[in-house]
Amino acid sequence: MHNLQINPQRLWDSIMETAKIGGTAKGGVCRLTLTDLDRQVRDWFVQACEEAGCTVTVDEMGNIFARRPGKDNSLPPIAMGSHLDTQPTGGKFDGILGVLSALEVMRTLKDTGYETNAPIEVIDWTNEEGSRFAPAMLASGVFAGVFTRDYADSRKDREGKSFGEELDRIGYRGTERCGDHPLGAFFELHIEQGPILEDEEKVIGIVTGVQGMRWYEVTVTGFESHAGTTPMHLRRDALVGAARMVDAINKVALNHPPLAVSTVGLVEVKPNSRNILPGEVFFTVDLRHPEDEVVVAMEAEVRAEIERIAAELKLEIAIEQVWDSPAVKFDAACVAAVGAAAVENGYSHREIVSGAGHDAAYMARVAPTAMIFIPCEKGISHNEVESAEYEHVAAGANVLLRAVLEYDNREKVA
């Protein structure tokens, strides 16, 4: 075990190869979940797993499981994974780093003939990003019992296409009931998506948990009328109201320094004509903080501000919470395995809390779980310029390998 190392060039080449599937002119990736490009990268992944000696199965949510047997196949598998889908202007590393590094672990085990005690699996979770079908981490949420399959299938994108219809269309609806797949543990490798590791010149982040987060959808309704003939004091302009609400939402996070964040990332205006007062505005709200009680307080403040502004401008509002992911603390034994792997490899490291949501947050509800972070350039993610260094990618994959084997040694066959 102590001499095992992944093949860094093979891993890097796989990342660059899959980045061509949905590659953008600016060097990023646009591979939205359940699109034809998602099907294409899934096909690539399934073939690569089978070539690495794995048996591949798919559940009813499209989650892909690639298994390598162990000495005792009655034991639940130790799993690794992340996601293959991206943001509309995504990068090469977000999500897929965790999937392909797990694949590289499998390839390394095959190359060396190393036999684990428990079976080992790689998982690709469907719709982690939530950029096409909200909420995020939808399929891992069904796996963990947070959402029902019917709820997931009913989610629609902005074009009115449903998750269930699109999953069937690309041919990745499996037969196994989502959640009926035992897991002994779960490890997820990911870029940090923040600047802390790079700023402190640390190679490995030992992730101890994930901060709490909530998503909302807000519809502001005013009254459409002619831009040239409607006096200012008689207007019910939905966009003016929404603009004030966005500013107020930003100030809510500033009221809870230094860890609170609030974001309005999607805005749609109707009828979107230059000489008509906007009659309706739809926008999203994202609230986050490591402590759940602060998120609750932020929500109350956001609702109060939206209602105050709507009343002042005589607008109607509808606020729907579409996602609530409480703060998570990862399993101590899994976190310790990651820490031991970082020390054994001689990598600089620190403990860290994830500011972003990950499938591991839901896996922590059903199996011992931990995460590994590596730095990304300037902390940039969800952006086409997202970048990670070759050496850091290799380090993260080596820590993933060692952490899994460290945890597997707890399952030694007598």
pTM for this predicted structure = 0.86
Q: For the domain that residue 386 is a member of, what is the CATH number?
A: 3.40.630.10
Residues 157 and 289 in one domain: no
pLDDT in tens, 257-299: 999 999 999 999 999 999 999 999 999 999 999 999 999 999 9
Instruction: Report the alpha-carbon distance of residue 359 to residue 124 in Å, rounded.
Output: 10
Q: For the domain that residue 287 is a member of, what is the CATH number?
A: 3.30.70.360
The total of structural domains in the chain comes to 2
Residues 107 and 249 in one domain: no
Would you state the pLDDT for residue 2? 62
Instruction: Report the alpha-carbon distance of residue 20 to residue 27 in Å, rounded.
Output: 9
Cβ neighbour number for residue 177 with a 10 Å cutoff:
13
Would you state the pLDDT for residue 414? 38
Which are the contacts of 389, defined by CB distance < 8 A and separation ≥ 6? 375, 377
Instruction: Report the alpha-carbon distance of residue 18 to residue 16 in Å, rounded.
Output: 6
Would you state the pLDDT for residue 3? 80
Enumerate the H helices of 314-370 as residue ranges: 332-345, 359-363
Structure tokens at 260: 């609170």
Residues 240 and 168 in one domain: no
Range of the domain at 123: 8-211+327-411
Q: How far apart are the first and last CA of the chain?
A: 18
Q: What residues form the annotated binding site?
A: 83, 94, 129, 190, 382
pLDDT in tens, 150-198: 999 999 999 999 999 999 999 999 999 999 999 999 999 999 999 999 9
Structure tokens at 314: 């005589």
- Provide the 8-state DSSP code for 157: -
Would you state the pLDDT for residue 69? 98
Q: What residues form the annotated binding site for Zn(2+)?
A: 83, 94, 129, 190, 382
Instruction: Report the alpha-carbon distance of residue 407 to residue 334 in Å, rounded.
Output: 7
Residues 177 and 242 in one domain: no
Each of the 414 residues of the chain gets a pLDDT tens digit; together they read 568 999 999 999 999 999 999 999 999 999 999 999 999 999 999 999 999 999 999 999 999 999 999 999 999 999 999 999 999 999 999 999 999 999 999 999 999 999 999 999 999 999 999 999 999 999 999 999 999 999 999 999 999 999 999 999 999 999 999 999 999 999 999 999 999 999 999 999 999 999 999 999 999 999 999 999 999 999 999 999 999 999 999 999 999 999 999 999 999 999 999 999 999 999 999 999 999 999 999 999 999 999 999 999 999 999 999 999 899 999 999 999 999 999 999 999 999 999 998 999 999 999 999 999 999 999 999 999 999 999 999 999 999 999 999 999 986 543
